[in-house]
Chain A
Amino acid sequence: MSDKAKMKIGIYWAASCGGCDVVTTHINEKILDLIEVADIVFWPCAMDFKYDDLRQMADGEMDVCLFNGAIRNSDHEELAELIRKKSKVLIAFGSCACFGGIPGLSNVTTAEESIRRAYLEEPTTLNPEKVLPRLEVRAPEGDLTLPRIWDTVHTLKQVVDVDYFVPGCPPTAELTGSAVDAIISGKLPPAGSVIAGNKALCDECDKVKKNEMRMIEFKAPWETEIDPEQCLMEQGIVCSGPATRSGCGAQCTKVNMPCRGCFGPPDGVEDQGAALLGAIASVVSPPAGKSIDDVFSGLRDPLGLFYRFSLADSMLRRTKISK
């Protein structure tokens, strides 16, 4: 194939841990197929690219950009808008870009509190002079600025239009591979599609229900000896399977760890946490002598559990800020 016909691909990260960038290299030999037909024209995490490289591109010059990470400061927002302009197809890659992911959990607090916690209160932080980041600093060489951090973490879609979603924390190598295949072959699914399964995770989990889904108390996975055959929910371990999109191959429940919901809600479910709450409420049955509230009091931090990956994308998006 001549160089001229080669596709142009970008990979970008915003508020993310870097895991999504790593997984793009886990597609193994497929990466050779990819670079056969495509040039990577922007990937700041792995190669030396500057924002100006992006600014100089024509609008729509990148065929596809895989965007990972949530949007939580002014720099993320600016780059998301710029990348949207420069890409024909924009893919929200990974749970943070799709639903806010783990960074989205900071929607239970505010920017100010997060900064105070990280710079002043963290037991592992040594900051005797109590230095805090400042938005602007005057240095002899010129004025330096930092992006402004927001109170509320956003998903990519809340900021710009998104064409496809590849969920997962990180997306599996298989799903990344099928997204890459679709890009290479030009056979992309209908716009707006989520590249994963569309049922609930329970559908692909092979654990069996032995007691007609009755939950009499809540336990952490390490507080009980797990029967590897039985549904974890029946064993008192909250599992997000009923409220989570299939497509990962049930990789957590396979090793007896409950699903935490990183694939987000399945088709037709708007609020993953509310769906999980509903699922749990319908299976809890207090043993004799105990009330519903007794049983629920054993459930630690329902918000953090039900919305582990999707708080920023939930109905309420964040906790109420009292002003």
Chain B
Amino acid sequence: MSEFEPKIVAFLCNWCSYAAADSAGTSRKAYPANIRVIRVMCSGRVEPDFILKAFKEGADGVLICGCHPGDCHYLEGNYKTERRAALLHTLLDQFGIEPERFRLEWISASEGERFVTVMAEMVEKIKSIGPMRLELKAVN
């Protein structure tokens, strides 16, 4: 059997974390191909149903990355993200989705190295938990 290759969706805010991914790229640092990047203007743009939808559509893990507290380009977007994420973790747990499948990280534009580390860690973590396997339509 071939090794499980998780699908991981990463929402990256344009001003910090996406720039970090970019700088990782320009300095030729490799990160696993399991990450599907979605660029958003601010981590605060990521509404809770985006996360649920990602899981529904087959993601094994979801990341939100934004600017460090105090650094959000829109001042408070990431504080909102933090509060949502805290409540989402409880909700996902109730849905039977392992809390590790959803992670929030602050990664600034200059942290290309950390970006790569976080992505690699996430892939390893999800590989160890296994595939998601949601049974949305279970009849009988």
Contacts and interface: CB of A to CB of B under 8 A. Distances in A.
Contacts of A148: 140
B97 interface: yes
Of B47, B52, B91, B95, most A-chain CB atoms within 10 Å: B95
B108 to A, nearest CB: 22
A43 interface: no
A150 B140 contact: yes
Contact of A320 (B86, B87, B135, B137): B135
Interface residues of B, number: 30
A273 B92 CA distance: 12
A296 B86 contact: yes
Given A151-B139, A318-B136, A321-B138, A303 B91 contact: yes
Given A150-B138, A320-B96, A320-B135, A296 B87 contact: yes
Contacts of B140: 74, 111, 148, 150-151
Interface residues of A, number: 37
Given A151-B140, A315-B49, A316-B136, A322 B91 contact: no
A57 interface: no
A317 B136 CA distance: 6
Given A275-B49, A278-B84, A315-B53, A320 B134 contact: yes
A302 interface: yes
Given A278-B47, A278-B84, A293-B86, A316 B139 contact: no
Contacts of B138: 150-152, 318, 321
Interface stretch (A163-171, A185-193, A280-288): A280-288
Interface string B41-85: 000000111011101100000000000000000000000101110
A322 B97 CA distance: 10
Contacts, number: 98
A321 B137 CA distance: 11
Contacts of A284: 83
Given A271-B52, A293-B86, A302 B94 contact: yes
Contacts of B117: none
A174 B106 CA distance: 51
Of A74, A154, A320, most B-chain CB atoms within 10 Å: A320
Nearest to B85: A281
Contacts of B88: 277
Contacts of B132: 320
B90 A302 contact: yes
Nearest to B57: A315
A279 B78 CA distance: 15
A302 B47 CA distance: 17
A303 B83 contact: no
Contacts of A151: 138-140
B82 to A, nearest CB: 7
Nearest to B44: A282
Contacts of A108: 94
B56 A315 contact: yes
Contacts of B87: 277, 280-281, 296, 299, 302
8 contacts: A271-B48, A277-B88, A281-B86, A284-B83, A293-B86, A306-B91, A315-B52, A316-B55
